[in-house]
Amino acid sequence: MNQIELEEYHEYSFDAFCKKAIRNFAVDAKRIYWKKTTVTSDEDLLASYVKSLMTEDTYALNNYEKIYYVNGLKVVVTNETVGEALKFIMPNKRAVLLLSFFMDYRDSEIARTLRITNSTVSYRKKQALKQLKVLLEGKIDE
């Protein structure tokens, strides 16, 4: 690894760390915002300030990107094996997996988003994970 590649690696690593920290802060702020039944003006200001800090990079660190849409939400899968395996899972079960593992939604948030019960979310997630495991094990063995 030469000096340029090393600097680029450090730049991408720091970039990924910053994105993760900002995303986690935004997720926490969103959860606090939705937990409260009455929202004060200070909390509205905090939520709008957090939203103004968010950004989305347009460059890709890897060559693969599979985009799925769940109720208007854009979900990007960057792992080729997982992205291809998700094609073979029923759309209602795939939506639960995408929201849970790629958007960090809790089961109650998924239920509210998809307008289904918490037990249905749990069942679909369990079934989809079983199916995904079978698909990925078959892919890895090949």
- Model confidence pLDDT, tens digit, residues 108-130: 999 999 999 999 999 999 999 99
Are 72 and 29 members of one domain?
no
Task: Report residue 90 as tokens.
Answer: 């029923």
Task: Report residue 111 as tokens.
Answer: 């239920």
CA distance 10 to 48: 31
Of the chain, the percentage scoring pLDDT greater than 90 comes to 32
- Containing domain of residue 125, as a range? 63-142
pLDDT of residue 78: 85
Strands (E), the chain: 66-70, 73-77
* 3-class secondary structure, 79: coil
Domain boundary among 59, 88, 103: 59
CATH code, domain carrying 83: 1.10.10.10
Single pTM value for the model = 0.55
Are 67 and 40 members of one domain?
no
pLDDT of residue 26: 86
The string of pLDDT tens digits covering residues 37-60 is 455 566 666 776 777 777 766 665
